[in-house]
Structure 1
């Protein structure tokens, strides 16, 4: 069985250098790391997890906390895509991931208790409610953390440029000639919902467009049903019905399209719709959905990099990474006649 000593002998590097390269320390040059990793592949070296933990004082396990209010869990396309990207990049760095719940051994525990029980090295947090008390407790703990799609001054954060995405959506509709633009917003407890609403208001103000109070409708926690009910409410407006609607999430936009179809409203001939997320199904419905694209692969990748860097350096300095978004124009928007 190949050992770390065999790798050191073959490459001519010290055991310490080999160990630091295998554990992804930043003070090992790329050239040295490549030589060592090539030898690892050639000799079929596979480190014993217990021995590696004793040597590095790490468990080589990252915790995932995923809290959302719809009750659909990993079926949510945005969160599942981000977590899959995070998982792939973490595994490439030698880490396993486990999901942390409020249940340990059949007993109700806090997330902090579960993280301590499992001895994870760091935690990625995905939570729709930015005021969740248990999540805040975990962020304030000594555990290295990275938070996705929330803002925090006490943790590293990675999120899409929600504000800019809303600006792009409204700019697109204005360029098509729309002036009466409504917004189906996400719930007020969600950071994404608040930021997208803030961006919508700023864009409308930039174009000197008024926003009647009836033009902003709550779609809840980004569900199809929430978008359906919100669009039904907008379609009941007898005067000054909007000619376009910016919807804060693609799942809600799917519900909005369903409401339009049931009401005899043709999209985009009678009403233009822009979503946010760019989930895959948006490319295959009729009409295909104009939307704001979130780079879920990059969000997951950056989250893993930020968290592992914080673990390796044992630093209390927090990183804030904003991921750019872009407008994807499809069939659900049209120039107003």
Structure 2
């Protein structure tokens, strides 16, 4: 088995220099780094995780906290974590997913991650009122949050309010005035922000919002969209368009419309939010607000790795732009 000593012998550099390159220390010349990495790849060197942990006093692992109500099944979360994973793996880190219940014992996230000795933590769209998440954010562990309002960590999030305004602007431009909203659950940062954006846009155009026109679709699920759409379809004065706070809910809403013998966009226009992979393949293809999942994941990874390297928590808030993707689920009236 190839060792660090073999790499040093082949390249002519000291063991200390080779170790610095393998552990991503910045104070090594690019030419030196390149030569050492070429030898590493050529000789098939794979460092011992325990040896690396001892030499660097780091676990080379990053904890992941996610919303246990919807889990990691949502395509948006999967896309963000995949981007995050690729970025941190380039820097030598593995991911450790955590639940609030480990084995038969209930443990806080902080307890679990301190026990496992993670170098940092990423929180993906959890409940902003969760005391366990708040406790974790207030700890000394470097952390970054995705789609959650937190004062105890760096935050990366899409421009949810502006995305909602884009959706309403688009529907208004098509002649729609009776625009309803299926919101996400209101204990979450995303659901609240998208609802506020919808309300602001409707106010901008002096459009009335009947109380019945805002329906909570819950945790951004297909079934939640179906149930919420059923409520809107039962109204005496049905909306001509519905802006839905998540694509999975939007797809559920479209199916509910179909089950009632109606068509999208002939009878009701639909706009979603996320631009999940399936959105372009549905019938009709879904007009939606696109989140840049690759940029969100990469930005969050860079922020966290910088904190780990500096051994100091940062408190930054980075808003990632969104855009409207026009497809076939809306029509002018």
Shift of 1:277: 1.0
Q: TM-score, structure 1 length as denominator?
A: 0.92
1:61 — aligned with what?
Answer: 61
Shift of 1:27: 4.3
State the Cα RMSD in Å.
Answer: 1.9
CA contact (8 A) 2:143 2:313 kept: no
**Distance (whole Å) between structure 2 residues aligned to residue 63 and residue 167 of structure 1:** 34
Residues 74 and 80, structure 1, Cα contact 8 Å, conserved in 2? yes
Equivalent residues in 2 for 1:1-337 (5 A)? 1-8=1-8, 10-11=10-11, 13-28=13-28, 30-70=30-70, 73-104=71-102, 106-239=104-237, 241-336=238-333
- Provide structure 1 residue ranges, at least 5 long, that are not aligned to the other structure: none
In structure 2, how many angstroms separate the alpha carbons of the residues matched to 1:264 and 1:227? Answer: 17
TM-score by length of 2: 0.93
Q: Is the 8 A contact 1:126 1:147 kept in 2?
A: yes
* Greater mean alpha carbon deviation, residues 270-279 or residues 260-269: 260-269
Moved more, 118-127 or 95-104: 95-104
Q: Which deviates more from structure 2 when the two are superposed, residues 245-254 or residues 91-100?
A: 91-100
Q: What is the Cα deviation at residue 212 of structure 1? A: 2.1
Q: Is the 8 A contact 2:122 2:144 kept in 1?
A: yes
Q: Identify unmatched segments of 5+ residues in structure 2.
A: none
CA offset digits 1:262-320 (Å, max 9, x no partner): 22221111111000111122222211111111122222222222111111111222232
Q: Secondary structure at the match of 2:118?
A: coil
d(CA) in 2 for partners of 1:28, 1:205: 57
Are the counterparts in 1 of residues 140 and 313 from structure 2 also a CA contact under 8 Å?
no
Question: Runs of 4 or more off by more than 6 Å in structure 1?
Answer: none
Compute the displacement of 1:63 (Å): 1.2
Q: Which moved more, 1:100-109 or 1:8-17?
A: 8-17
- C-alpha separation in 1, matches of 2:123 and 2:246: 20
Any idea what the Cα deviations from partners look like across 1:20-69, whole Å, max 9, x if unmatched? 33222344455543333223222322222111111111011111112232
1:98–1:291: structure 2 CA closer, same or farther, 3 Å change rule? Answer: same
Q: What secondary structure does 1:165 align onto? A: helix
> How far apart, CA to CA, are the structure 2 residues paired with 1:297 and 1:88?
10
Return closer, same or farther for 1:225/1:156 CA change in 2, 3 Å cut-off: same
Change (3 A) 1:280 1:194: same
Count of aligned pairs: 333
Kept in 2: contact 1:184–1:248 (CA 8 A)? yes
